[in-house]
Amino acid sequence: MARAGLTAERLTRAAAELADEAGVEAVTVAALARRFGVREASLYSHLRNARDLRTRVAVLSLAELADRVADAVAGRAGRDALVAFASAYRDYAKRHPGRYAAMQVWMDRETAERSAAGRHSEMTRAILRGYGLPEPAETDAVRMLHSTFHGYVSLETAGGFRHSPRDVDASWARTLDALDGALRNWPSE
């Protein structure tokens, strides 16, 4: 019988906290069982395995980030929307490094379609409508933005910018200026 109070949602939230504290690699069923003071076997009525647990953390994290980005971009357009989206993204990744890392795990198609991943693309495309990009330029721009945001955040959180005296926030602002300029002056095919 499952221990009272344990649910898949509660376990997922605890795993997300563990990911932020110790890294996504530390998210295991055994570690979660220790956190709750229960035997590992008692968690299997709620979880299939460590992969399932990490996928649940990824799905939770994608939804949290989508909510934050949606709040940030509400009522904004063009450069203001771009900066709000990017800043919410970066802030979430810095505040929740383990959850952010969990979002990079591979998901099967069905899980990905049920997750908030689609909301992220829709919000990015909504921002890009302000720049008037037709397809396939819009898809190219979605990929450029996500690659830039992820690359910058990943390097920053890994300490990749510590070698330079230049303030990372100043570089971030210039990066967003450059993205805005690229989007306003997108080359035609």
Q: What is the CATH number of the domain that holds 148?
A: 1.10.357.10
Q: What is the pLDDT of residue 1?
A: 39
Q: What is the pLDDT of residue 2?
A: 46
Pick out the chain residues at pLDDT < 70.
Answer: 1-4
Q: What is the pLDDT of residue 50?
A: 87
Is 18 within the bounds of a domain?
no
Domain that includes residue 160, residue range = 55-184
User: pLDDT per residue over 6-53, tens digit each?
Assistant: 999 999 999 999 999 999 999 999 999 999 999 999 899 899 888 899
How many domains in the chain?
1
Is 42 within the bounds of a domain?
no
Q: What is the pLDDT of residue 42?
A: 87
Is 139 within the bounds of a domain?
yes
Is 40 within the bounds of a domain?
no
Is 158 within the bounds of a domain?
yes
Is 116 within the bounds of a domain?
yes
Tokens of 188: 């035609």
pTM of the complete model: 0.90
Is 48 within the bounds of a domain?
no
